[in-house]
Amino acid sequence: MTIATASWVLVLQTFLTTLGSVFVVKQVGLRLGWVDRPDDRKIHQAPIVTIGGLGIFAGLLISFLLLFVWSGDAQTRRWDTTTFVITYREYAHLCLLFVSSLILVAIGFWDDTRGTSPWIKLLFQVAAAATFVGLRVTSWSGEFQLYFETVPLHEYLIRFVILTGWIVLLLNAINLIDGLDGLAAGVIGIASFWLMMANRP
């Protein structure tokens, strides 16, 4: 399988797993009553499940795990270079990204189902951003061993504060434009497409 073919397989796989997981989460949300009900300030006419993001995250996570299965040799832990969609280092960074995303999904799920204060949500946002920014992979030994980046402490702290603050700012900016159906998803989709085309996420 060529890299191009593997990439398209990954796209199709992600679409199908996300489609299936969103459907399952929707049914669970409707059954448990985790919905946003219509009122005078809302345009939807029927209850809408509030935990749809959980389905999207689950679909991405399943696809991510499947990628590791079919892109590598489970016995040798070596990847097939003909399906080398991402490198070991990129895979490790994606692991960190999913850990950070899991923190956001957890507080988002709790807020949608139980409700929580803005300060608690901000705390979790900072924790998620700090998790992703604070860890970096500089080498890979072939096994799951991560090495911390060696930089002067003051330089590390400056980068850490700026990048963490920037990610938290982006998270809240997206949340602010989420007042119109499809607006936030559309903006994120367009931005993600061009990041993918530039290959510099």
36 bridge partner residues: 48
DSSP string, 99-128: HHHHHHHHHHHHHHHT---HHHHHHHHHHH
* 2 vs 83: CA distance, rounded Å: 6
| pTM (2 d.p.) | 0.73
Beta bridge partners of 72: 79
Sorting pLDDT into bands at 50, 70 and 90, what band is 104? very high
> Cα dist. 182→24, 60, 174 in Å?
21, 20, 12
Of 159 and 164, which is predicted with more confidence?
A: 164
Q: What is the pLDDT of residue 121?
A: 93
Measured CA to CA, the distance from residue 51 to residue 35 in angstroms comes to 8
Task: Give the angle subtended at the CA of 131 by the CAs of 126 and 132, to the nearest 5°.
Answer: 105
The answer, yes or no, to whether residue 141 has pLDDT greater than 70, is: no
- Residue ranges covered by each domain of the chain: 1-85, 87-201
- Of 77-91, 148-162, 169-183, the range with the lowest mean pLDDT is 77-91
How many CA within 13 A on the CB side of residue 105?
Answer: 17
Residue 144 has pLDDT above 60, yes or no: no
pLDDT of residue 24: 95
pLDDT at site 26: 92
d(CA 67, CA 70): 6
H-helix segments, the chain: 3-32, 52-71, 88-113, 118-134, 153-176, 183-198
Q: Residue 50 pLDDT more than 80?
A: yes
* pLDDT tens by residue, 53-101: 899 999 989 988 887 777 654 444 444 444 455 666 667 777 888 899 9
User: Model confidence over 109-118: pLDDT tens digits?
Assistant: 898 888 889 9
